[in-house]
Chains A and B, each alone.
Chain A
């Protein structure tokens, strides 16, 4: 009797696991479906119903249906329909974005937008589940590194159609930024803002030891020399807790990439199908990252490891300089412990290269029932003066160069300086322009952080790190 039951249970288990597989399988084909006409209308229906039930519970789905058919017929002249807009951010970004889109809706009363905002935690879990369930929002905010995965899975709508018909004006967006996500001649993502590398320096410390402030246009060697100088001056004055600069770690796409390019190499193969950093250039780039540590003017790892979570050695006042993303500006400017100085990150020793990338991007999903209206909302958010005034720097420094000029009005000094520096950085993107991101980039980045830690602590050599990372990167890319 017992045997029978256990056999029965085993069978159930097998059946259940098979059923689970079947449940999963239709998704990849389901994702492509919306491209065909039938798929489009079907998802369109579910979405409107969803929005409708979300807004007023009393309204029945049947009432929503006729309303939905209109935009298909007369979508071009009038902006109307029901859209869903999903982004992540903090309190201020939510408030600003809701206000900006609400202003747009006031001008287009036939448009309804359901906001679906959240924090960063779980954002991509949710988006992936929704994509798999054919229930993705119309407009989504993606991070720079995640876009390619969604493009490859066919989950994003090419935007050329809307650029060509004038809905989406990209004439004032830096070409470098826009081209980051150009695949086979199609644009998929509209950058909301710009990120670049800044050299932050502690004016208070520099003045204390009477050393000239760093400036934009210095090379890496010159900055290292300055770091050495200030460390020696601090030791001479008996200050054991000041170092020239903090160590830049976990920066595969920024500092590491810039160093690799500077030494004549590149991170990935041109088609992003494999790693290309396991070269002399890669080894030189790694050596350059570790150099301040070895020569005694970088903040030692045991010191930075003791910092409270979320506070850098620069923020603690241990490091006189730090090279990091421009997004750190607001946090440092708010600090009252020292006077902040900002310059562009040093260029390479051989090439005038810097890192210049979109901060986040807006995309339209391929499941969108009304991409035309979605495109007009994105256009408003990136091009309109009024929207720019509401959104301020919530998604990085605006990618639109015209808006950037206007945005200076009424800004604090450091915000103006930031704008100037970004304009300046845009000039040096030429041959050093960073490449796009391969599939699974976020996994590769995590592995880079792990490997780099072992390398920094001297557990593995630079060559071992490059070998390990190359193998991991190629394995990861080939999984897709």
Chain B
């Protein structure tokens, strides 16, 4: 009994230390956002600022000469939101078709979807750029949103397929006997049962797009269309002085949505991954 307790004590200590190491950058970010600029990198480091200031937030909000930071937050939310919706609709339809319907070359299609999962995105960068430039979609959000509605994120398709395979086919059969069409089968039977997986798809889509940098950098040109990650990087330059305080304040604002979403939907998030993984 005593031994067990001691084991518990050490494992807790170990976990606490590990958790602190993991969360340290975030704490540092949090405290820096409220510090004066010259205090951020000063040698006598402390988590609690000597003078708590909100001026970083004010400076940061107006860091761009043309638009306020709210404009870029709006851009990002629009982009992230529409991509999440697109991914949910299109990927679940694809997954439904592959798991529940029979059509010629179904297995080939499935394997092709899996194949695209294995192509590194860097390889596709220039060809897709050329395609979208021919469509004259550059400097709009279309290169992000349209593919999302066409189920190009094969990882999500794969995840949903694995989950849907776990839903008993008997439910379909009984619905079909009652004269249910395929679309109603999808809408009224499969989709409600897939909810946890759909939510995890939404979260993944949200976080990935929110943190994406390279594709946004390449497709969005005019500052009006910039997203949060682009505007944050646009004020960092190795050859001139950077207003780190303002940058930290903005970064804090920009990680908040991810943190909030993750914690509020954590239950579904874990459920979606584990069940789809186990039953697949």
* Pair A88/B111 contact, Cβ less than 8 Å: no
* Pair B223/A115 contact, Cβ less than 8 Å: yes
Chain B residues, CB < 8 A from A308: 41
Known A50-B138, A91-B235, A133-B130; contact A115-B115, beta-carbon cutoff 8 A:
no
Known A54-B221, A122-B217, A394-B240; contact A129-B234, beta-carbon cutoff 8 A:
no
Query: Smallest Cβ distance from A423 to chain B, in angstroms?
Result: 22
Q: B68-108, CB under 8 A of A: which get 1 and which 0?
A: 00000000000000000000000000000000000000011
Stretch from A92-100, A196-204, A436-444 forming part of the interface with B:
A92-100
Query: A13 CA to B246 CA in the complex, in Å?
Result: 48
Chain B residues, CB < 8 A from A8: 108
Select one of B65, B107, B214, B222 contacting A94, CB under 8 A.
Answer: B65
* Pair B217/A118 contact, Cβ less than 8 Å: yes
Known A24-B127, A53-B139; contact A94-B242, beta-carbon cutoff 8 A:
no
Chain A CB within 8 A of B199 CB: no
Q: Which residue of B lies closest to A49 (CB)?
A: B136
Scoring A50, A61, A99 by chain B CB atoms within 10 A of each residue's CB, the highest score goes to A50
* Pair B237/A89 contact, Cβ less than 8 Å: yes
Q: A126-155, CB under 8 A of B: which get 1 and which 0?
A: 100110111101000000000000000000
* Pair B230/A118 contact, Cβ less than 8 Å: yes
Chain B residues, CB < 8 A from A92: 240-241
* Pair A133/B233 contact, Cβ less than 8 Å: no
Q: A356-399, CB under 8 A of B: which get 1 and which 0?
A: 00000000000000000000000000000000000000100000
Chain A contact residue count (CB 8 A cutoff) = 53
Chain A CB within 8 A of B7 CB: no
* Pair A114/B221 contact, Cβ less than 8 Å: yes
Chain A residues, CB < 8 A from B241: 90, 92, 330-331, 334
Chain B contact residue count (CB 8 A cutoff) = 43
- Report 22 cross-chain contacts, Cβ distance below 8 Å, ordered by A residue: A9-B112, A12-B112, A13-B115, A20-B127, A23-B127, A50-B221, A54-B221, A54-B224, A54-B225, A55-B222, A84-B221, A90-B237, A90-B239, A90-B240, A91-B63, A92-B241, A94-B235, A120-B237, A122-B213, A122-B217, A134-B133, A331-B241
The 6 closest A-B pairs by CB, nearest first: A90-B237, A23-B127, A90-B240, A54-B222, A133-B133, A119-B233
Listed in ascending order, the chain A residues whose CB lies under 8 Å from chain B are 5, 8-9, 12-13, 20, 23-24, 27, 46, 49-51, 53-55, 61, 84, 86, 88-95, 98-99, 114-122, 125-126, 129-130, 132-135, 137, 308, 327, 330-331, 334, 394
Q: Supply 18 further A-B pairs (C-beta < 8 A) apart from A27-B126, A94-B235, A114-B221.
A: A9-B111, A12-B112, A13-B115, A23-B126, A27-B130, A54-B224, A84-B221, A89-B237, A90-B235, A92-B240, A93-B237, A94-B65, A94-B234, A115-B66, A115-B223, A119-B233, A125-B217, A132-B130
